[in-house]
Amino acid sequence: MTENYQLATLLVQAGIKSDEATGALVAPIHLSTTYQHPEFGQSTGFDYTRTKNPTRSTLETTLAKIEQADYAIATSSGMSAVVLAFSVFAPGSRVVAARDLYGGSFRWFKQQEDQGNLFFTYTNTEEEMIAAIDETTDVIYIETPTNPLMIEFDIAKIAKVAHDYGARVLVDNTFYSPIYQNPIPLGADLVIHSATKYLSGHNDVLAGVVVTNDLELFDQLMYHYNTTGPNLSPLDSYLLMRGLKTLKLRMEAATKNARELVTFLENHEAVKEVLYTGKGGMISFKVKDQKRIPSLLNNLNIISFAESLGGVESLITYPATQTHADIPEEVRASYGLTDDLLRLSVGIEDIIDLKADLKQALEN
C-alpha cells in the first residue's frame, strides 16, 4: 500500500516496479508511438502514445500520489496544463482570478477574454476575491503564493465559498510544489503545475501537470488531451521522473538558502523591501535605486539573469521586462508590481557564494 508512504519515499519510488518483465529499477523510456494489439478487439492498455504512453503513465502515477489526488495528466508545458484545465469549462464561463499571476497565464486569459470565450474579474487580495465570488462565478483561479508579490491565499477558505456558489477552484501550485502545499485536500478541484520549475528542478525539461480528484473532470480532461495532443514526450516524462526523486532535498536546500538571503537582503542598504513567505526558494525584492538594476544584473557571476525558476541553479528575473512584460505597466503598478522589483529563484549553491555574489552586485 504505497498510499501510506511519506512524501520523500513516494518521490524516490517514482518508476520503481514499473517494469515487471525485467525488474528494471529505473523506468524504461518507451519511445514507440504505437502498440501491437495481441488479437483483434484486444489491447494491452496502450494503443497510441497521444492517448497513453507507459513512461508517461508511470510518471502520472507518482504525480497523482504526491498531490494526494486520484488523477494526474502530464502535459508538454505549464501553459498547456493551464489551457487543458480550462477546457472543462464551457465558453462564456466567468472566472475570478488573483491579479498577481504569471504573465503568460495573464496573456492567455486576455486572449480568451478578447475572443469572448472566458470573462475575468481580477482581485488583489483574498478578501477581495471572496467578495467577488457569487452565483455568476464558474471558476476561481489562484496562484498561491502570488507571482511575484508572494502573497498567500487561503485555498480552503476560498474553496468553501466557491463551492457554496457551485464554482470550481483551480490552483497553480508551481511555486510551493507538493512539498509545501497540496491544494486538492484543501478543496481545489483542479491543480496545475509548470513542472518545468521545481518538479523537474534542473532547467532541462519543459512540462506541465493537471491534477484532479474528480472522475468526471478527469474524463473531460482526457477527452480534450487525446483530441488535441498537448502530450509530454516519453523522454521528458523520464527526465521529469528523475527530477522528482530529489524534489524534497532540493526544496529544503533552496528554502534554507532563501531564508539566509532574506536576512541578508533585509539588512542591505540598497534594498527597499523584501517579499518572502517564509518557505520555498522564491524571493522578490525591491531596490531603492531602480536605475541601478541593469548594472546589478550585469555584475552577477553565479546567479544567472534568466527567466524561469525552481531549478538547482539560482536565477534572477526582472518581471517588468521578462515574465510579466505582457501585463501593461499601469496595470502592474496598480497592484504593486513596480519596476524596482526583482525576483530571485534561489538555488542550492553554497550560501556563502550566493551572498557574496549578491553583495558585490548590489554594491558595484
Nearer to ligand PLP, 68 or 174 (CB): 174
| 27/347 Cα distance (integer angstroms) | 27
DSSP string, 66-101: HTT-SEEEEESSHHHHHHHHHTTSPTTEEEEEESS-
- Rounded to whole angstroms, what are the CA distances from 169 to 109, 154, 363? 16, 12, 44
Nearer to ligand PLP, 196 or 314 (CB): 196
Nearer to ligand PLP, 194 or 257 (CB): 194
Among this protein's residues, is 204 annotated catalytic?
no
**Cβ of residue 78: shortest distance to ligand PLP, in angstroms?**
2
Nearer to ligand PLP, 15 or 103 (CB): 103
- Catalytic member of 52, 197, 250, 332: 197
Residues that bind ligand PLP (CB under 6 A): 77-79, 102, 104-105, 143, 147, 172, 174, 194, 196, 206, 208, 323
Q: Which residues of 174-207 are buried (b: 16+ CB within 10 A; e: fewer)?
A: bbbbbbbbbbbebbbbbbbbbbbbbbbbebebbb
**Cβ of residue 175: shortest distance to ligand PLP, in angstroms?**
6
Are the C-beta atoms of 162 and 133 separated by less than 8 Å?
yes
Q: Are strands 315-317 and 282-287 parallel, antiparallel or unpaired?
A: unpaired
Report how far apart the first and last C-alpha atoms of the chain are (Å, whole number).
Answer: 56
Are the C-beta atoms of 150 and 282 separated by less than 8 Å?
yes
| 310/78 Cα distance (integer angstroms) | 13
Report the amino acid identity of residue 95: V
Nearer to ligand PLP, 98 or 184 (CB): 98
- Catalytic member of 35, 56, 99, 102: 102
**Cβ of residue 298: shortest distance to ligand PLP, in angstroms?**
23
Which residue is associated with the grid cell 489551457? 83
**Cβ of residue 307: shortest distance to ligand PLP, in angstroms?**
7
| 93/267 Cα distance (integer angstroms) | 47
287's enclosing H/E stretch is: strand 282-287
Our measurement of the distance from residue 357's CA atom to the centroid of its chain's CA atoms, rounded to an integer in Å, reads 27
Which residue is at the shortest CB distance from ligand PLP?
78
Among this protein's residues, is 172 annotated catalytic?
yes
**Cβ of residue 17: shortest distance to ligand PLP, in angstroms?**
29
Which one, of 334, 239, 243, 339, lies nearest residue 292 by Cα? 339
- Catalytic member of 35, 99, 122, 172: 172
Going across the sheet that includes 208-212, the strands are: 71-75, 208-212, 190-194, 168-172, 139-143, 93-98, 118-123
29's enclosing H/E stretch is: none
Nearer to ligand PLP, 143 or 189 (CB): 143
**Cβ of residue 335: shortest distance to ligand PLP, in angstroms?**
16
Among this protein's residues, is 180 annotated catalytic?
no
**Cβ of residue 32: shortest distance to ligand PLP, in angstroms?**
26
Nearer to ligand PLP, 219 or 326 (CB): 326
Which residue is associated with the grid cell 525576483? 343
Among this protein's residues, is 134 annotated catalytic?
no
Q: Which residues are known catalytic residues?
A: 50, 102, 172, 197
